[in-house]
Amino acid sequence: MASRIASLLPSVTETVCALGLRDRLVARSHECDFPPGLGDVPAVTSSRLPADAVTQAQVDAAVSDAARQGEALYDVDAHLLAGLRPDLVITQSLCDVCAVAEGAVLAAVRHIDPPARVLSLAPGRLDEVIASVQEVADAAGVPDAGHALVASLHARLDAVRARVAGRPPVRVAAVEWIDPPWSAGHWVPDQVAAAGGVEVLVAAGARSARATWDDVASARPDVVVLMPCGLSMPEVLDLADAVPPIPVRVAAVDASGLFSRPGPRLVDGAEVMARMLHPLPGDPPGGESWAWLDGRAG
């Protein structure tokens, strides 16, 4: 059983806490901000993105430059990590843009004595994300808690699918970056499908890809959903003016909380998407986690 867990992914930190293991968390990434109250857990990673890369275009350019030059986007403080003596380090091998690269983590854990177990996750589909919850639970030595959480997540997804059953599918263009636009791949098309929609820019499980706003329009969506990777609802709303006029409804969502991170809250995202695409009488027209951007249709 793991008693000292280092989670280098926001989604895993959420999973660890959802499993009731908050008290075993001894290290986190600098991006781990949910659930609230993690400030006492040392952050052992940091970003290399230049401080002046603040706009969507500047961040995209900085990431592209780093990729061309083979440079990492994040650092791991190996000395700090070793001093925290974790016996389980959880990382990822799915995306070096979204989180610390697996290679950097493997290099850092060599300094830990006694050696720590490393669990590397790479879920690309929604069902794989839920399965990864059990992987974390098993690695931490709490398989029963994992089974209970996984069963709850599947039951909630089943309820979402039942809610929209028989309704005509809504064509959705989920956009995970705005300037330039990128399609939202991996698990997002599965979230859209569970909510009674069909993603028109990318297939489920495929990687996100750079696009143009002409590409978005050519896909003939009924709805465009803005979910810039890693951004909160207020941050997404601040970017609304960067979206060119589009002849369909446009919505903003809490990307960081509900769509970007491959953890339990992806099910919350599917629930929100279902209320957006197929509202029932009494459903609120938006809220803290999503909103229609009235006036963005052109």
pLDDT tens-digit series, residues 232-253: 999 999 998 889 998 999 999 9
Residue 63 dihedral angles phi and psi, to the nearest 5°: -65, -45
Share of the chain above pLDDT 70, in %: 90
Q: Are 56 and 179 in contact (CB under 8 A)?
A: yes
Contacts of 152 (CB under 8 A, 6+ apart): none
The reported pLDDT for the residue numbered 93 is: 79
The reported pLDDT for the residue numbered 223 is: 97
Q: Identify the top-confidence range among 49-58, 78-87, 239-248.
A: 78-87
Domains of the chain and any CATH numbers: 5-122 (3.40.50), 149-292 (3.40.50.1980)
Region 12-30 average pLDDT? 97
Structure tokens at 16: 């660890």
Bridge-based pairing state of the strands 249-253 and 5-7? unpaired
Q: What's the predicted TM-score (pTM) here?
A: 0.92
More confident residue, 125 or 286: 125
90 closest CA partner among 175, 172, 4:
4
In this predicted structure, the answer to whether residue 219 has a pLDDT above a threshold of 50 is yes
Per-chain mean pLDDT for the chain = 91
The reported pLDDT for the residue numbered 71 is: 63
